Each structure stands twice: as C-alpha cells, then as structure tokens.
C-alpha cells in the first residue's frame, strides 16, 4: 500500500493515509513528552524500539490471547500498516503495583502490590490534563457505549493477564500500562495505539530498576539504555 498524505501528527507518532481508505500507516518518532506535553525531549532510537516491540506484542495478543488489534504489517524500522479506526477517546490504565499517579492520588507507596488488578479510564484531552472518569461519565458524554466499555474492560484485563506472565518470564514486572482502543467501520472494538516502554511501567523483577519512560519523566538518566534493555528482554540478545 502506498504512503500518502500525513493525516495527523501526535506526540510520538505520525499517521499517514494510504491509497486504501481502510488502512493507514503509523510512523514512530524519537520525540518524547511528559506531563501532557509540558516536558519535551528526544530518546534516540525509541521510535524503532517502540515500533518493533508494539507490533510483536500486538501480534502475540491477537494470536495467543484472542485480542483483536489494529496491527496489519510492519513495513520498516519505524513504519507500520494498521487498520484505520476511530479512536475511543479514553486512556485505559491497568495497574498491578502502585506507582505514579495512583500512589500520589491515594497515598499508597510506590511498589505496593495491589490485591487485584485495577482499571481506570481517563478522558483523552491534554488541555484538561486527561481527567479520570467513570463509566457514568463515559455514557453521559457519549464517549463510548456500555457495550464498548464492557468489551474494553474485558480486553484490558485479558491483555494484563497475558503480558504480566510474558514479561515475568523475561525477568520484568509489569507494574501498570495504558491502552487505547479504536472502532473499525463495522463497529468492532480493536486494541490500537502502542504497547511499549512509553506506555507501560516495567521494573526489573530482581532489582526493581525502572526500564521505561519514567527514566525520562523523572530525569533518572540512562533512558536509552532502559529502552535497549527492554528490547533485549523481549527479543533476546540478537
Ligand atoms: P500514571 O501513573 O501517570 O497515571 O500512569 C499510568 C500508566 O500509564 C503508566 O504505565 C504510564 C502510562 N501513561 C501513558 O502511557 N500516557 C500518559 O499520558 C500517562 C499519564 C501515563
């Protein structure tokens, strides 16, 4: 499929039209932002890593966990062909261990194991600071239907079950992560956006060293090293 005009530029990816209206091409950048775009920087090589890792994980989730995704084909180091979807304007956050905004909001120290996984929905709007919303807000504002919310919730916990085990086998604790979902023209909900060190918290299972974008958000240094290390954990040494 031919890469046509740019449709959209996000904080970490560009989206291009193709010559087929049902598909588009996402192109991963090295740009990094935090705090709803207030902090800006570059993580060299991030786009290549996130593209490869996200595609690999989405394919596994589809093949082995029955989660429908937008992934179609990896086209190059940074470019991937995906199904064109209408993004549901929600960030869906699943947590296994307290960290980040959960720890701040509820006063639960970082690193506390949660009794069971939790889910949060945030309305995707940088200017509003992606406020946390509940199912009533979602239905009242028409961001998704009840059926969509039920499907998304089911998929999000199934993604968590699969990925928690996948990463633990590679010596990594999946602390929490953010998913986004989209709707295809026939109304099917599919997993969209990306799954990468930008959108997950990964801690080394033994040392609890942070191996994700928190190194950038919190100025911890060795940001590129952390992304490279996660690449090794997922794909092995080669
Ligand atoms: P939080 O603790 O800051 O709410 O983040 C929860 C998870 O969601 C964490 O793995 C990072 C991810 N995340 C994003 O992918 N995008 C965002 O804009 C934010 C705030 C968090």
pLDDT of residue 56: 98
pLDDT tier at 101 (50, 70, 90 boundaries)?
very high
Residue 140: CB partners within 8 Å, gap ≥ 6? none
Query: Model-level pTM?
Result: 0.97
Rounded percentage of the chain residues whose pLDDT exceeds 70:
99
> How many A from CA of 106 to the centre of ligand 1?
16
pLDDT of residue 119: 98
pLDDT of residue 238: 52
> How many A from CA of 199 to the centre of ligand 1?
6
State the virtual CA torsion across 224, 13, 11, 15 in degrees, nearest 10.
170
Tens digits of residue pLDDT in 136-171: 999 999 999 999 999 999 999 999 999 999 999 999
Tens digits of residue pLDDT in 2-60: 999 999 999 999 999 999 999 999 999 999 999 988 999 999 999 999 999 999 999 99
Three-class SS of the chain:
CCEEEEEEECCCEEEEEECCCCEEEEEECCEEEECCCCEEEECCCHHHHHHHHHHHHHHHHHHHHCCCECEEEECCCCEEEEECCEECCEEEEEEEECCHHHHHHHCCCCCCEEEEEEEEEEECCHHHCCCEECHHHHHHHCCCCHHHHHHHHHHHHHHHHHHHHHHHCCCEEEEEEEEEEEECCCCCEEEECCCCCCCEEEEECCCCCECCCHHHHCCCCCHHHHHHHHHHHHHCCC
- Joined tokens for residue 17: 């039209």
**Burial 39-56, CB ≥16 within 10 A → b, else e:** eeeebeebbbbbbbbbbe
Query: 237 pLDDT exceeds 90?
Result: no
Tens digits of residue pLDDT in 58-84: 999 999 999 999 999 999 999 999 999
pLDDT of residue 36: 86
Regarding the beta carbon of 166 and ligand 1, being less than 6 Å apart is answered no
**Residue from 54, 100, 156, 177 whose mutation best tests the ligand 1 pocket (most atoms within 8 A of CB):** 100
pLDDT of residue 60: 98
* Ligand 1 atom closest to residue 199's alpha carbon, by position in its atom list: 15
Burial (CB < 10 A; 0-12, 13-18, 19+), residue 186, is exposed
**Residue from 50, 93, 119, 203 whose mutation best tests the ligand 1 pocket (most atoms within 8 A of CB):** 93
Q: How does the average pLDDT of the chain come out, rounded?
A: 97
**What length does the chain have?**
238
Regarding the beta carbon of 90 and ligand 1, being less than 6 Å apart is answered no
Cross-strand pairs, 80: 26, 74
């Amino acid at each position: 499929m031919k890469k046509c005009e740019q449709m959209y530029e996000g904080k970490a990816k560009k989206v291009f039209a193709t010559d087929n209206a049902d598909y588009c091409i996402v192109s991963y950048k090295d740009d990094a932002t935090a705090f709803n775009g207030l902090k800006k920087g570059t993580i060299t090589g991030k786009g290549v890593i996130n593209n490869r890792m996200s595609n690999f994980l989405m394919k596994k989730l589809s093949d082995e966990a029955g989660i429908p995704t937008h992934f179609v084909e990896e086209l190059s180091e940074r470019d991937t062909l995906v199904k064109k979807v209408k993004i549901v304007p929600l960030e869906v956050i699943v947590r296994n261990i307290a960290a980040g905004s959960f720890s701040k909001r509820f006063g639960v120290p970082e690193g506390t194991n949660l009794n069971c996984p939790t889910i949060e929905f945030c309305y995707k709007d940088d200017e509003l600071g992606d406020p946390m919303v509940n199912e009533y807000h979602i239905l009242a504002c028409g961001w998704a239907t009840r059926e969509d919310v039920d499907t998304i919730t089911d998929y999000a916990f199934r993604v968590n079950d699969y990925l928690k085990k996948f990463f633990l086998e590679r010596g990594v604790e999946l602390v929490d992560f953010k998913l986004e979902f989209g709707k295809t023209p026939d109304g099917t909900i599919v997993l969209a956006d990306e799954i990468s060190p930008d959108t997950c918290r990964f801690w080394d299972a033994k040392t609890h060293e942070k191996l994700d974008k928190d190194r950038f958000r919190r100025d911890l240094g060795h940001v590129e090293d952390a992304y490279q290390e996660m690449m090794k954990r997922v794909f092995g040494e080669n």
